[in-house]
């Protein structure tokens, strides 16, 4: 095997976060009798993605996301409600979202007998453990590392230092991270000095030209990469990976 240790991002890579998020939002809004339409969802996505971007860049603490996103949304919509309490209910409903993406279970089942598999995720610990614990991929994982428990987050090197210290016998040359986010997963892998695999099913443009070791649009293509072969739809960018000094 080319890789002995594989770090998987959770949401958007193995877990179907879009489905979990939409279901949780609709349920929480319905429980309060608030209307939830495409315009509301679009505004929420703008607010939420902006806050998570700030968190990944180390500009805010994670707690700011929980206390701010729905408060800002309700202010913009003119809804008189407690955004912090609403966020707590939303996270509970989100915890039920354990659906995996196509190929995720098959990928983990194929790799687990030969490699150690880990989850590396930026998220709320209680929610992520519930979601992953109820998923079909949980039995294949050696461990789960949630940023809230580590004191840091992807893509910061400190997050990966925490993870690496807790993986016995780790060989960085035989380690790879697989994820859908260039700025979080791929940049994080570069910062940590390991190979990267960008899962890009929508064929998004790599506008920032972040160097990736491998690129796939089908999760099952990674099996051949891990085995030392090229994936069926592989689009590899073999540019040298230079660490980005983000601390």
Q: Is 82 a catalytic residue?
A: no
Residue in 214, 168, 189, 171 with CA at minimum distance from that of residue 3: 171
Name the phi and psi angles at 84, rounded to 5: -70, -45
Two structure tokens written together for 72: 């800002």
Tell how far CA 247 is from the center of its chain.
20
Tokens 């902006």 sit at which residue? 50
The residue count for the chain? 247
**SS3 category, 119:** strand
Enter the DSSP assignment of 27.
Answer: H
**SS3 category, 202:** coil
Q: Which of 9, 16, 180, 221 is catalytic?
A: 9
Q: How many other C-beta atoms lie within 10 A of the C-beta of residue 33? A: 6
Tokens 């035989």 sit at which residue? 174
- Report the catalytic residues: 9
């Amino acid at each position: 095997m080319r890789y002995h240790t594989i770090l998987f991002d959770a949401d958007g890579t193995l877990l179907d976060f879009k489905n979990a998020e939409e279901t949780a939002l609709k349920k929480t809004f319905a429980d309060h009798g608030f209307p939830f339409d495409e315009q509301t969802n679009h505004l929420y996505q703008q607010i939420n993605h902006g806050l998570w971007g700030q968190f990944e860049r180390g500009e805010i603490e994670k707690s700011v996301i929980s206390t701010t996103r729905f408060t800002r949304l309700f202010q913009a919509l003119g809804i008189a409600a407690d955004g912090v309490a609403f966020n707590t209910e939303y996270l509970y409903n989100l915890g039920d979202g354990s659906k995996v993406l196509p190929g995720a279970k098959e990928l983990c089942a194929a790799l687990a007998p030969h490699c150690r598999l880990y989850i590396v995720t930026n998220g709320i610990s209680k929610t992520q453990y519930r979601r992953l614990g109820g998923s079909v991929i949980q039995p294949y994982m050696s461990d789960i590392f949630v940023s809230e428990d580590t004191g840091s987050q992807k893509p910061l090197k400190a997050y990966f230092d925490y993870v690496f210290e807790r993986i016995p016998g780790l060989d960085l040359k035989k380690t790879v991270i697989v994820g859908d986010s260039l700025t979080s997963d791929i940049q994080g892998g570069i910062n940590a000095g390991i190979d990267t695999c960008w899962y890009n099913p929508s064929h998004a443009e790599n506008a920032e030209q972040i160097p990736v070791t491998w690129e796939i649009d089908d999760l099952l293509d990674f099996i051949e990469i891990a085995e030392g072969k090229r994936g069926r739809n592989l689009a590899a960018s073999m540019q040298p990976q230079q660490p980005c000094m983000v601390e």
